Amino acid sequence: MTTATIAAPAETAPRHAGASQGANGTRQAARLLSYGDALNEALHQEMARDERVFVYGIETKAFGSLRGLAERFGPARLLTTPICEEAMTGFGLGAAINGLRPVHVHIRVDFFLLAMNQLANMIAGFHYGVVGELPVPLVIRAIVGRGWGQGFQHSKSLQSIFAHFPGLKVIMPTTAYDAKGMLTAAIRDDNPVVSIEHRWLYWQEGEVPEAPYTVPIGPGRVLRDGGDVTIVATSWMNVEAVQAADILARRGVSVEVVDVRTLAPLDDTVMVESVAKTGRCVVADCDWVSYGASAEIAARIGEKAFGRLKAPIERVGFAPAPCPTARELENAFYPNAGTLVRAAERTLGLSPADLSGENFYSHERRFTGPF
Amino acid sequence: MSERAALAATLYRRVYRIRRAEQAIIAHYGENGMKTPMHMSMGEEAIAAGVCTALARGDKLFGYYRSHALYLARTDETERFFGEMYGKADGAVGGRGGSMHLAAPDVGLLAVSAIVASTIAPAVGAAFAERARGTGNVVAAFFGDGAMEEGVFWESLNVACVYRLPIVFVCEDNGLAVDVTAMERQGFRSIKKAVAGFACDYAGANTTDALKIHQLATAARASTLATGRPVFLHLKYYRLLQHIGIQSDFDGAAPGFEKTGYRSRAEYEKARRRDPVRIARLAAARNGCTVAEIKAIEAEIDREVDASLAKARHSAAPDPCTVTDHVFAPTEDTARMERTPPMERTA
């Protein structure tokens, strides 16, 4: 595999994604856009569509996803904030319950931990606590993922923590198509939505219609059809899963890849249907395994497809350690397509294949330091 | 009735309603129908009544766990208040909040939090929304002196000053966090000096006179709208009861949550003599209300409180089936969110 491009095939996207058609009811012409540019286009279109939408963060670039917003909409709708994470998160709640539709951007999810009081104690329960009298149309985008020697305070993925609190929606778009459609849906949603965006996905290209559209928050999606084993993956792990599927295909193993897309509330229909078909399941999350999203997903599959399972569910995630910085340790910390191949082989009872000739995805494919 | 007399009557009506409602809580709390931890407002009535009476209809308010007074002063009603104390379906927030999470979005009381200082940040965001929408409304954020030990207070003050937002920070300073004095908690000796370095304006008073507080709050509201500078309104009061519950520290009360002897009887007696309800009644008389008018207010509120309490005791509890209602606002997508049924087991 030389690129990790994931397109949204014409027959797949509407079936599983429920993609909206263009205004004239016809499908838009194919156009390739990067994930970061797709997010940027969603923000441009939603800010133009609805003057209540505004964006803010401690820096106003966010890996290119905020490009052009200040020039087009002015500083009152693209705010640079003081380094006050808790206050600015509560600020988003206050603005959301008082007539605006804020989009808050954290360039590292680790910084979001400073705001957990507002998120967990104020935002998650707010709508419930006023018996539905005030909606909370707040989007919090948090960028996660593997950096370049970023270490243990710049590299977390905290999706399972956010997904634990009733009242928060948590999305993890993987493709450029979903990035635009799900961010658009999140901005139009009357609930607080946490969007977890893996920074390596920002360079991934995919087919993205130019006209505004929404991808529903909720259902997962089959990214690749297969019959022997299901890999249920979140975010970047879908890219690794597709590569693992390519490798396994050469051994005659057909892998189905299911992109979870929305972690909370978790609609498990697509993943359960897939495992019911294949009977084997690997759950791949870009996070720690213990108490992580992979635990919830495995539990759901165990509850709902128990009778169809032919082997124990395998889980793949980060090594149970804080994230180290040295490249050799970093490589041992993060799972990749090779890790997924091994997990799939275990569920299938296959001997380990020789992976020495494989070219796995790495920083050097795209990013080289120093900053 | 003159304008001045009408204002004094309004303030007395509000102060008296708060006091009577809390006296009713004290009278009936022991029956165990109100299963919610009470953080009583006795002593701070003049602040809630004075500030709320100075605010405009469209202004927004944020409070904290000691907000019976704030809720009653803003809503002028006791039915939904007691409904919430008794955890009933027709309570202020349908039995989802209790004493510490009262809210009345229809009149702008947007949030009340049980965690110190937590609503100050949302208050700043609400002020940003008022300015962005060009409404001419302000936000009043209520908190105790203990909130000034929380980082989010300073963050929020900082943000409000940087963005020049129309907000009045109302510090209700009783000098105590449970039973710990400000001297033991704060690395500064003067709240006024501690906020002086920020681009905000300060006003303060140590008074139980709702009229004086009304005057200060009216000026604070006008000032933040005119200048774009937030106002820090520092109002001292004496907490007449213990931190939590319905007991006084004196008058033969059983020891509460607090250590004993953390404040003196002399101080307490002094506070009783300047009780805000007594001061408001005197002010109403001094400003032109007749004794008959004052007694009519009292009789009306007495009837209202008794009727509300009786209604709340007998109204319906929330249906257990609604325990997950309103976790999410309805959207097109959430209709599908119910858990799907298990797959048929074939093995």
Across the interface, of B101, B132, B330, the residue whose CB is closest to A100 is: B132
For the stretch A83-109, pLDDT in tens is: 999 999 999 999 999 999 999 998 778
For chain A, give every residue range classified as CATH 3.40.50.970.
31-209
For the segment A321-354, what is each residue's pLDDT rounded down to a tens digit?
999 988 889 889 999 999 999 999 999 999 999 9
- What are the pLDDT tens digits along chain B (347 aa)? 899 999 999 999 999 999 999 999 999 999 999 999 999 999 999 999 999 999 999 999 999 999 999 999 999 999 999 999 999 999 999 999 999 999 999 999 999 999 999 999 999 999 999 999 999 999 999 999 999 999 999 999 999 999 999 999 999 999 999 989 999 899 999 999 999 999 999 999 999 999 999 999 999 999 999 999 999 999 999 999 999 989 888 876 666 667 778 889 999 999 999 999 999 999 999 999 999 999 999 999 999 999 999 999 999 999 999 999 999 999 854 444 443 334 444 33
pLDDT in tens, A167-186: 999 999 999 999 999 999 99
pLDDT value, residue A75: 92
Q: Cis (ω within 30 of 0) for the bond into A265?
A: yes
Task: Tell me the C-alpha to C-alpha distance, in Å, between residue A81 and each of A55, A76, A106, A183, B150.
Answer: 10, 11, 11, 22, 20
pLDDT at A367: 46
By the 8 A CB rule, do B65 and B113 touch?
A: yes
| Residue of A154, A256, A296, A330 marked active site | A154
Partner-chain residue, chosen from A100, A189, A303, that has the shortest CB–CB distance to B331: A189
Q: How far does A363 lie from chain B, in Å, by closest CA?
A: 37
Mutate to test the interface with B, among A81, A91, A97 (most CBs of B within 10 A): A91
Question: CB distance A267–B337 less than 8 Å?
Answer: yes
Of A85, A197, A314, A330, the active-site residue reads: A85
| Touching B: A residues 249-308, CB under 8 Å | 265, 267-269, 272, 276, 303-308
Q: Which helix (H) or strand (E) holds B257?
A: none
Contacts with B118 from chain A: Cβ below 8 Å:
90, 117-118, 121-122
Identify the helix (H) or strand (E) that includes residue B206: strand B201-206
Task: Note if A85 is an active site residue.
Answer: yes
ipTM of the complex: 0.93
Strand partners, A207: A32
* Burial of A26 (C-beta count, 10 Å sphere; 0-12/13-18/19+): exposed
Which amino acid, one-letter code, is at B79?
A: E
Hey, which residues does A315 pair with through a beta bridge?
Answer: A283
A92 CA to centre of own chain? 22
CATH of A31-209 among 3.40.50.720, 1.20.140.10, 3.90.550.10, 3.40.50.970: 3.40.50.970
Q: Is A235 helix (H, G, I), strand (E, B) or coil?
A: coil
B18 touches chain A (CB under 8 A): no
The phi and psi torsions of B131 (rounded to 5 degrees) equal: -65, -45
pLDDT at B332: 58
Beta strand extents in B16-145 (DSSP E only) = 60-64, 109-113, 139-144
What average pLDDT is seen over chain A? 89
- CATH fold of A221-348 reads Rossmann fold (3.40.50)
Report the residue of chain A nearest B153, measured CA to CA: A87
Among this protein's residues, is A364 annotated catalytic? no
Show the CA angle centred on residue B310, arms to residues B308 and B312, nearest 5°: 65
The closest CB to that of B327, out of A93, A128, A267, belongs to A128
Does B125 touch chain A if contact means CB atoms closer than 8 Å? yes
B322 vs A contacts (CB less than 8 Å): none
- Nearest CA to CA, how far is A228 from chain B (Å)? 18
Kindly state whether B199 is in contact with chain A, defined as any CB-CB distance less than 8 angstroms. no
What's the pLDDT band for A364 if we cut at 50, 70, 90? low
Nearest-CA distance from A33 to chain B in Å? 26
CB of A312 less than 8 A from some CB of B: no
Strand A53-57: give its sheet, edge to edge.
Answer: A78-80, A53-57, A101-106, A139-144, A193-198, A169-171, A262-264
A11 has pLDDT over 60 = no
pTM, whole model, 2 decimals?
Answer: 0.92
Q: What is the pLDDT of residue A145?
A: 81
Looking at residue B322, its amino acid is T
Among B93, B329, B347, select the one facing A129 at the smallest CB separation.
B93
Least Cα distance to A277 among A246, A303, A254, A248 occurs for: A254
Task: Give B241 to chain A, closest Cα distance, Å.
Answer: 27
Where in chain A do CATH 3.40.50.920 domains reside? 221-348
* CA–CA gap between residue B243 and residue B262 (Å, rounded): 12
pLDDT at A106: 86
Q: Which residues numbered 60-119 in A keep a CB inside 8 Å of some CB on B?
A: 76, 79, 81-82, 84, 86-100, 102, 117-118
- Which pLDDT band, with edges at 50, 70 and 90, does A150 fall under? confident
Share of chain A above pLDDT 70, in %: 90
